[in-house]
Amino acid sequence: MTETLAEAVRDPALAPRIEHPILNIDGLSLWYGEKKALNHISMQIPEKQITAFIGPSGCGKSTLLRCINRLNDLIDNVRVEGDIRFEDGSIYDPKLDINALRKRIGMVFQKSNPFPKSIYENVAYGCRIQGINKKRDLDEIVERSLRGAALWDEVKDRLDESALGMSGGQQQRLCIARAIAVEPEVILLDEPCSALDPIATARIEELMQDLKSQYTQVIVTHNMQQASRVSDLTAFLYLGELVEYGPTQKIFINPLKKQTEDYITGRFG
């Protein structure tokens, strides 16, 4: 353990007791050009639990999430310092195959983004990329993934139709099915319900609970009720800093920092 992480862990507001960390974020800073978006963030994310990142707009929670599968690499002029270790390997290791990493860390986006293909092909996409092309294998994976995303019964009769003809909630669940089809270890959810109505939101939240036994989930959300409903741990970020991180109950009922309390009680944000 490096000094920074050790130091961070000593701060009770930032160091919940975590039995099996799967991701170790270690002194991570990130700049968009000249602008610093993340400032020296250190935290551990537990395996097979749901961790929520909350905070006002522009606080860096999405940026932090996108660091975990290195999607920020695609943006010009991004500079990163610090490290993230995923099961004891650095994800910033220059020898690392980014595509292999992204297969292990799936992602669901703020807006549903099905590909302009059939429902079947959307779910099978990741497998085809990995070279799984046998019809029988794919059929099985598609069915399992759609069942996993609680979508199978709704779409089993129209797998060959365009995914773009589905409702918003269905599309988002399709994106989850697509993510779990490649059997990742971690699923990153970037405000997955921000464009959905309450019923669709409830279904996604239910689904997250179902998936908890198999996958580590990290969710970014604007919606504090959602964070309190679904997550086991909550991290509050503000202006690129990790302000407080701990068990969700504790953060919402008895936060240690004034800033956290102000945000949660709605005094700013």
Partner 1 sequence: MINVIDRRARRQARSTTTFGDYRRRSAAAGQALTWLCGGALALNLLLVISILLLLAYNGLSYFWQKDLIELDLKDGRKILGEVWSQERSAAVTGARAAAAIDRVRLKIGNRDVNGLDFVWIDAKDIAGRGRPRDAVMLERLEWGNFYGTMAELRKGSQVLATGQDAVWKAFGPLHERKLKERRAIERLEKGAIGDVNYAIEHLRLAEKRLDLENLPTPERDRRKAAIENQVAADQVRYDRLAAELSRMRDRFQAETLVMRTANGEAKEMPVGTVVRAIQPNGMGSLSKLGLYLSRSAEFVSADPRESNTEGGIFPAIFGTVLMVFLMSFAVAPMGVLAALYLREYAKQGPLVRMVRIAVNNLAGVPSIVFGMFGLAFFVYLIGGTIDKLFYPESLPTPTFGTGGILWAALTLALLTVPVVIVAAEEGLAAVPRIVREGSLALGATKFETIRRVVLPAAAPGILTGMILAMARAAGEVAPLMIVGMVKLAPTLPLDGRPPFLHLERKFMHLGFHIFDVGFQSPNVEATTPLVFATALLLIVVVTAMNLVAIMLRNHLRRKYAGSAV
Strands, E assignment, 77-143: 78-86, 89-90, 105-108
Nearer to partner 1, 47 or 183 (CB): 183
Cross-sheet strand order for the sheet of 21-32: 35-46, 21-32, 78-86, 89-90
Nearer to partner 1, 84 or 242 (CB): 84
Residues in Cβ contact with 168 at an 8 Å cutoff, skipping those fewer than 6 apart: 112, 195, 196, 197, 200
> CB 129: neighbour CB atoms within 10 A?
11
Q: Are 58 and 216 in contact (CB under 8 A)?
A: no
Nearer to partner 1, 151 or 166 (CB): 166
Q: Contact positions toward partner 1, by CB under 8 A?
A: 69, 71, 74, 99-103, 106-107, 109-111, 113-117, 125-126, 128-130, 162, 164-166, 171, 175, 178-179, 182
CB of 188 to partner 1, least distance (A): 8
Contacts within 8 Å (CB) and 24+ apart, 256-263 = 256/12, 256/13, 257/13, 260/236, 263/54, 263/55, 263/56, 263/236, 263/238
CB of 165 to partner 1, least distance (A): 4
CB of 51 to partner 1, least distance (A): 18
Nearer to partner 1, 90 or 162 (CB): 162
CB of 210 to partner 1, least distance (A): 21
The pair of three-digit structure tokens given for residue 150, joined into one six-digit string: 């609680």
> CB 36: neighbour CB atoms within 10 A?
15
CB of 158 to partner 1, least distance (A): 12
The pair of three-digit structure tokens given for residue 142, joined into one six-digit string: 């598609």
- Judged by DSSP in three states, 242 sits in strand
The pair of three-digit structure tokens given for residue 189, joined into one six-digit string: 């959810």
CB of 182 to partner 1, least distance (A): 6
Nearer to partner 1, 57 or 254 (CB): 57
CB of 266 to partner 1, least distance (A): 30
The number of CA neighbours under 13 Å toward the Cβ of 218 is: 26
Nearer to partner 1, 173 or 242 (CB): 173
Nearer to partner 1, 78 or 164 (CB): 164
Distance CA 159, CA 42 (A): 43
